[in-house]
Amino acid sequence: MKIHKRYISAFIALMLSVPAFAQVPAAAPKQSKPVLLKGATLHIGNGQVVENAAVGFDKGKITYAGPQSGANLSGYDVVDVTGQHIYPGLIHPNSTLGLNEIESVRATIDWREVGDLNPHVRSVIAYNTDSDIIPTIRTNGVLMTQVTPVGGTISGTSSVVQLDAWNWEDAIVKADEGIHLNWPNMLIATGNSAYDARLGRMKEQREEALNQLTSLFRDAAVYKSGKHDNENLKLASTAGLFDGSKKLYIHANYGKEIIESVNFAKQHGVKNIVIVGGQDAVAVADFLKANNIAVIYSGVHALPSRAEEDVDMPYKTPYLLHKAGVTFALDYDLSIHGIRNLPFIAGTATAYGLDKEQALASISLNTAKILGIDKQAGSVEVGKDATIVVSSGDLLDMRTNNVTLAFIQGRKIDLSNKQKYLYEKFDNKYKEEKKTPATVTTSAGN
């Protein structure tokens, strides 16, 4: 088929005319020389705050974090951030970021696999580092996320990635760190005739799902013992659950489901368990604490799950979990676009009892501990990755949050994004229109 030259020329011209803002910023190069930030208030992430502080880092690692008076400035490129605040890079758990771009376009969705039991599915290999959404999230200080599959009874394995990379291999912070289990919902009669008519069949399906889970975990335990002749990728992928090298993330909300699922996992020898969702976590806090179960709490910005609950129950749940001694982290589960609001749900929790540094820990160090990356991330401490955020205002306050600098493993990242460009574009447009009012031309007869 022949294509006319003018069409080719038009296509080339169109491609060349696409503005740079439409592209995701290129990944930053490795840190080439030592950097020292001085003069800011340092929020370490472990509850401590240092006024008039300095943070130095070299080759991607933090070399100094403390009072400015104790910093050695020799050999460092000094950046004066006086009056600003330094925070650890925020971490968002339980996310489909990079797996889902446009929900109405099937080709951009790669967050689930066919089948119900998929412990061997690796979500990270589908992670798209060129997602347009990623730069908008970095703008508010979220620099790492847990790429998590969805769907089925066992969705697959999650991995932790940093948000400035050329490809998924470069992005990995911790690969295949946990398996995600969606616990089958408990079912009760509601008085709704249409629902109750299907209740019997739904209970049968739940029982079938539990039987399948029991068979899988029993087979996995036998497989791990070495009593097999052929390799089974599905069973091999679960081995880490029994020696503690992988975590089992159980997605459950109802209190009885939380207790049932934890008991199930412990009976089958699972070492590390985390509850994801946890709307009823406060009601079973004693059980969670006694069993050393951490919670990734979803839905701070949500309505109560029951009509009889206080209207502000989701807002004060983080404080109540902290008060009960349960280790918890926060996630923003409403949409991938909303992940940028992660610091603000922590801010909401501070208005309902949680201390500001405790709230910061719930989206930084606590999350790192739960994900098993706290030796390299989650707080601004010597020896850890220099994944750092600098804000001219309070990072947890929507009104004053203004990230001016961000570093991932010591690399200064580009904070531009399409939304910033569009804001500036139209802001300038209307400013120019105000300077030059439009003139109205009338006909001679008027």
What's the rounded Cα separation, in Å, for the pair 95 and 108? Answer: 16
Mean pLDDT of 29-33: 93
Task: For residues 327 and 389, state if they share a domain.
Answer: no
Domain that holds residue 405: 17-89+378-436
Q: Which residues contact 412 (CB under 8 A, 6 or more apart)?
A: 28, 31, 35, 405, 406
Residue 1: pLDDT band by 50, 70, 90 thresholds? very low
Task: Tell whether 255 and 346 lie within a shared domain.
Answer: yes
The per-residue pLDDT of the chain, averaged, comes to: 88
Question: Residue 63 in 3-state DSSP?
Answer: strand
Tens of pLDDT, residues 183-238:
998 876 566 656 666 777 878 888 998 999 999 999 998 888 877 778 888 999 99
Average pLDDT of the residues in 79-83: 96
Other C-beta atoms lying within 10 Å of the C-beta of residue 227 = 8
Query: The domain spanning residue 134 has which CATH number?
Result: 3.20.20.140
Beta-carbon contacts of residue 229 (< 8 Å; ≥ 6 apart): none
- What pLDDT score was predicted for residue 436? 75
Q: Say what the pLDDT of residue 287 is.
A: 97
- Number of other residues whose CB lies within 10 A of the CB of residue 48: 14
Q: What is the pLDDT of residue 446?
A: 47
CA distance 205 to 211: 10
Q: Residue range 296-306: average pLDDT?
A: 90
Looking at the structure of the chain, the number of domains it has is 2
431: domain CATH number is 2.30.40.10
Q: Determine contact, residues 276/249, Cβ cutoff 8 Å.
A: yes
What one-letter code names the amino acid at 17?
A: S
Nearest Cα neighbor of 92 from 122, 133, 132, 64 is: 133
Reported as a single tens digit per residue, the pLDDT across 147-185 is 999 999 999 999 999 999 999 999 999 999 999 999 998
Q: What percent of the chain has pLDDT over 90?
A: 69
**Residue 338 contacts residue 133 (beta carbons within 8 Å):** no
What is residue 107's predicted lDDT score, i.e. its pLDDT? 67
Report the C-alpha gap between 363 and 143 in whole angstroms: 11
| 183 and 302 share one domain | yes
Q: Lowest mean pLDDT: which of 17-31, 136-150, 160-174? A: 17-31
pLDDT at 45: 96
How does pLDDT run across 248-270, given as a tens digit for each residue? 999 999 999 999 999 999 999 99
In a domain, 307, yes or no: yes
Section 7-35 average pLDDT: 65
> 296, 370 in Cβ contact below 8 A?
yes
How many angstroms separate the CA atoms of 55 and 137, rounded?
Answer: 24
The 10 Å CB-count burial string (b at 16+, else e) for 147-185 is bbbbbbbbbbbbbbbbbbbeebeebbbbbbbbbbbbbbe
